[in-house]
Amino acid sequence: MSDVNELHRRWCIADGHADSLMWNRDLCVRSDEGHVDFPRLREAGVKLQCFTLVTRGFPFVGGFPLFATWRGWPREARSSEWARAVWQIDRLAEFCQRSEGQARITTSAAMLEDNLAHGRLSAILGVEGGHAIEGQVARLAELHQRGVRFMGLTHLSNNDLGGSSFPMMGNRGLTPLGHAVVEEMARVGLSVDVAHASERTLEELFALPSVRFFSSHTGVRAAGGGWRNLSDESLRRIAERGGVVGIILAPVYLGGDTFDDVVRHIEHAVNVMGEEGVGIGSDYDGMVALPKGMRDVTDLPRLTELLLRRHPEPWVERILGGNFRRFFRETLGG
């Protein structure tokens, strides 16, 4: 078997979801806190990392502003959901500027391939919950201009766009505003992240022919785990449209806390979607635990090693990043 660390240096290791920006850490500096920063991503061989903008937390009043205050966000950044999103975008831009060429907010397929050729991290921005635009559809074009390339319509609760998969949310569908937002997302070039969509919202999204969608971080319902995992039918629909499902690393959604549980979800998803439909969507820094033996992103090679015991290198390379590389090459734009 090839040396795993050498494979990580050669492959386009990619991850579909990290909430690192909300913690207000300096991502240019290696930290013992949390799961992700630029030095640790580089050590792990990660070439593509999706960073999501979280603007609303658990469904109780005032939760996220209290969290942001605790983490030292400036007052103006906490003033509204839109302000929270813009501040996190600006923070990532600042980190990339200070990284001395090691990381770049990546907005096109050409930039992605150039980054890979020059050993630079591709940071791809997404929004976790369309409430961030505060009902103003025109802001989607501004998000795209600022470098955002995907957005989930909902997060941990229903909003004015549609239904969340969070328990006791009533399985609501897309609202009229949600339909308008999805139409505008397709026009400006934003993919839809369905990781937190209710079953009804998912069905209505699947019926729209112009939408490009994927799931940045989720488990697989048939392999066990939590309430928000995707059904086999949803996996098939995503695969049919060229999407990728990033398998989450959080034990609460895996039905177990070992790397074997991650592998079980990956293998089931591949059996349903095919080898080109599955990736890794860790949910690093997302207020969830990682499997036993995984402190942060630098332990990702342990998962790779386990997969290589069961599957050939080309299969593992696709799961560890090749599929997300293909998806974003198709969806980032020229």
CATH 3.30.1300.10 fits 4-331, yes or no: no
To the question of pTM greater than 0.85 for the whole model, the response is: yes
The 10s digit of each residue's pLDDT in 87-115 is 999 999 999 999 999 999 999 999 999 99
182 — pLDDT class (breaks 50, 70, 90): very high
How far from the centroid of its chain's Cα atoms is residue 205's Cα? Answer: 18
- Report whether pLDDT(44) > 90: yes
Backbone angles phi, psi at 284, to 5 degrees: -55, 140
Burial 272-281 (b: 16+ CB within 10 A, else e): bbeebbbbbb
pLDDT band at 2 (very low <50, low <70, confident <90, very high): low
Identify the pLDDT of residue 93.
Answer: 98
d(CA 230, CA 232): 7
Model pLDDT for residues 215-238, shown as the tens digit of each residue: 999 999 999 887 789 999 999 999
Task: Evaluate whether 311 touches 278 at the Cβ level (below 8 Å).
Answer: no
Contact between 20 and 51 (Cβ < 8 Å) = yes
Whether the predicted pLDDT of 61 surpasses 60: no
For the segment 244-276, what is each residue's pLDDT rounded down to a tens digit? 999 999 999 999 999 999 999 999 999 999 999
What average pLDDT is seen over the chain?
Answer: 95
pLDDT at residue 62, rounded to an integer: 61
Q: Count CA within 13 A, CB hemisphere, residue 257.
A: 8
* 57 pLDDT more than 80: no
Q: What is the pLDDT at residue 58? A: 65
> pLDDT at position 1, please?
46
Average pLDDT of the segment spanning 160-166 = 92
Which residues, 6+ apart, have CB-to-CB distance to 113 below 8 Å? 329
Range in 46-55, 165-174, 256-265 with the lowest mean pLDDT: 165-174
Residue 38 has pLDDT above 80, yes or no: yes
| pLDDT score of 19 more than 50 | yes
> Burial letters for 150-167: b for 16+ Cβ neighbours within 10 Å, e otherwise?
bbbbbbbbbbbbbbbbbe
Mean pLDDT of 68-95: 96
**pLDDT tens digits for 112-160?**
999 999 999 999 999 999 999 999 999 999 999 999 999 999 998 899 9
